[in-house]
A and B are shown apart, each in its own frame.
Chain A
Amino acid sequence: MMTIMRKYVNMLLLPAIVAVSSCGLDNYDAPESKIQGRVVYNGEPVGVRGTGEAVQLQLYQDGYELRNPIPVYVAQDGSFEAKLFDGEYKLVTRDNNGPWVNDRDTTVINVKGTANADIEVTPFYTFSNVQFSLSGSSVNASFQINEVAGGRDIDYVLILAGKTSFVDDVSYTERREIKGLSTGSTITEALDLTNNADFKAGKPIFARVALRPAGKDQAIYSQVVRLR
């Protein structure tokens, strides 16, 4: 009886060995290398909508059968980061995406450890000298609009206030749309929060201005400023 038991035990060993020794070939370590960088114009990062995967870059790697790009999401301050395996990659902006002139030129990046890569774009418009202040229940914004690429009108300018540090044309608690602003001089406009529930509830206030070039899918934004 003991012999039979031993036979059975031996039989059980086989699958156990299989179970322990398998799974070598198809397991990789997670990627440790990374690309990090910013979308810049003249060395200044370009502010964008950071929610909803709205602005993306695309990474391609040649030499493989499949051609699918890896999406790289741009954060609202214009920065991006992707964890990758070492290798040579091509970084490109997404077609017609972003408040800049559509340009599908590739940037070749060799990743070994950490690679820094800033992507140069040409926005249609930029903001400069952006300042916010909170007086009473009013967010006062002063800023200058600069035309860069030309060829497109300003659809509208937005003054946005939010209760978290994520502020854009989808995530906001108060929004004012202004049309017909001109470029090249300082503009002062206010956003009224008198009836805003979050303002009355004493929540934090973050603000930012945005400009939508006519016909583009995204607006360009100033950096987010905390006012309260």
Chain B
Amino acid sequence: MKKSSISIFKVLVLAGGITCFSSCSDFLERQPDTIMTDDQIFGDAVMIRSVLANYYGRVSWGQHNGNGNSYNYTILDEAGKSDGGPDNIQGYGNDLWRVYDYTLIRNINQFLKGLRETTALADGDKQLYEGEARFLRAWLYFNMARGMGGMPIVGDEVFEYQSGTDITALQYPRSTEAGIYDYIIAECEAISSLLSDKTNQHSARANKWTAQMLKARAAIYAGSLANYNNKMTSPIRTAGGEVGIPADRAEGYYQQALAAAKDVIDNSPYELQLNKPDDLQRNFYEAISIKDNNTEVIWAQDRIYPGTGQQTNFTTANIPGSHAEDIDRAYAGPILNLVEDFEYTDDRNGDIHIRDNQGNYIFYNDPLDAFANKDARLGGTVILPNALFKGTPVVLQAGQKVWNNGAWQTITSGGDERDDAGRLVTAANGPNRSTEPYVNKTGFFFRKFLDEASLASTRGRNSDMWFPRFRFAEAVLIAAEAAMELGQQPVAVGYINQVRERAGIQPLTSVTVDDIIQERRVEFAFEDHRYWDLKRFRRAHIVWNGVVNSPTAQQYALFPYLVVAPGTPNDGKYVFDKLTFSNSLHPRFFELRNYYNFIDLGWQNANPKIVLNPFQ
């Protein structure tokens, strides 16, 4: 027994020894297939193109309709969270939508260096790719600037570090806030001659007009920051100007914004899309949410199906229950605050008429009638009660109002239940005020970005809906705003009325900053403008003031009810209740510290030249 155990031991040692010496002949000699050398990349035109494509996939920030991002829309005043547990937000995080991606800047700079040296590309393509890469870099700086103010500008620098390198030379201080916008504007000017002036499929790639749009947007942001920050009781600034643009810069920025926007309006191949003048609601939906033959959108994040990881589940998550093709539905819905901000065709006060002067209900034959004569963009942005989606009505009914001994009694039920007379009580879609998932709680569904394609709301497929980042209407409204700020009222009126005319609402005779804020609110709902607009106009702390039941900070819902009053003329009609949105417990509260993201202290530890932001 003992002997045999020794021999087992010997065998084991021998086997181990042989393994050590004989293994791994060429196992570790393989070329890595995930790391490429510069020669491999820049020696091949296809590789260069695919590296550029990679950068396009890394530039989505802020509010957008990508996977799992429905809550982007519920933290402001556009939509409410309806997928179960309540929304407990009491304030905004110091790093909300904060962008700090110097990895991407380094990658783009490496790309530019390789691109300028390569012989694998024709000069025309080189120029084009350089323009696109620099555009994406400028777009990244813009996304950093609107959150944090001035940040280190590294130009085309590709830093090399070896042990012993003096790192203080690699530590760049933050630019001023004006400086970063100036850099973005200058880059856009420099590249607009490198880029194509033609459209491309689904507006997925940057062209000259994209660069002009970024220039216009950066200039109008910088102009309004210079203007409105300095009108605050206590302007938000840092000693070194990393935050805070001098007021005397405003006019110059407005002029740059107007010129760039005007160039897009006058010379670009895009337009305010108007393919269906007889159905302005549908026209507006198609101008933003249908990408084939689109003439409105200048730059978008495109998505394709099939293709791994390309699609978005926005439609899957938010489709009305009555139209759902999978188990998901109704994660969020637009709120009444947004709906009422859409004007009537002839009345600038967009409040829904639910009670008369005596406080009695107003009765509607069809719930949709309550929204008659509203801005056409409302129907193109929001699915209203009983409006059609894919050809069939989306029923939204919270319950019944029963006339009972001289008073209205509210009756609700579980989804899709009927009373003894066979009349619907609460619709399967909702709305209700519970925390039950998959039921609407606001009274409205999204229409903008909701994909009508078959099976686009299934988990297995999802949707190839795009996300427009720049579109023609923005050029028009930037021009209107810049002209208004420069005192050119007739010009401003002309531009803003183009947008209003497409919406089917009355023209204005003069334009104020409130008109601009209002027009952008409804035109660009869910398009990543609202938050940044209220910030740059320094209105966010006033609109989202944290006061319970404030008309702007509290979220509201609109519940439709079927009237049950047999023997009266109102039987079978519909009435509405305006209610606080039950699933959002607190009013929106934007504090002064939220005007600029906080600087991460880790960044400051790595680079002591980075100064902190105000209130930090």
Contacts and interface: CB of A to CB of B under 8 A. Distances in A.
Interface stretch (B33-41, B73-81, B401-409, B601-609): B601-609
Interface in B595-616: 601, 604-605, 608, 612, 614-616
Interface in B213-260: 232-234
A97 interface: yes
B616 A214 contact: no
B592 A217 contact: yes
Interface string A106-142: 0000000000000000000000000000000000000
Interface residues on B, range: 20 to 34
B588 to A, nearest CB: 12
Of the listed residues A169, A175, A217, the one surrounded by the most CB atoms of chain B closer than 10 A to its CB is A217
A64 to B, nearest CB: 10
Interface string A62-94: 000111110000000000000000000000001
Interface string A186-216: 0000000000000000000000000000111
Interface string B536-569: 0000000000111000000000000000000000
Contacts of A95: 612, 614-616
A170 interface: yes
Given A3-B2, A66-B605, A68-B601, A217 B591 contact: yes
B615 A97 contact: yes
Nearest to B594: A217
A152 B233 CA distance: 9
Interface residues on A, range: 20 to 34
Contacts of A152: 233-234
Given A94-B615, A95-B612, A215-B233, A170 B604 contact: no
B5 interface: yes
Nearest to A174: B548
Contacts of A155: 233
A216 B589 contact: no
Contacts of B592: 96, 216-217
A20 B591 CA distance: 51
Contacts of B91: 52, 170
Nearest to B586: A170
Contacts of B589: 170
B547 A216 contact: no
B90 A170 contact: yes
Contact of A217 (B2, B5, B615): B615
17 contacts: A1-B1, A3-B5, A52-B90, A65-B605, A67-B601, A67-B605, A68-B601, A68-B604, A94-B615, A95-B615, A96-B614, A97-B615, A170-B589, A175-B547, A214-B233, A215-B233, A217-B592
Interface of A: 1, 3-4, 52, 65-69, 94-97, 152-153, 155, 169-170, 172, 175, 177, 214-217
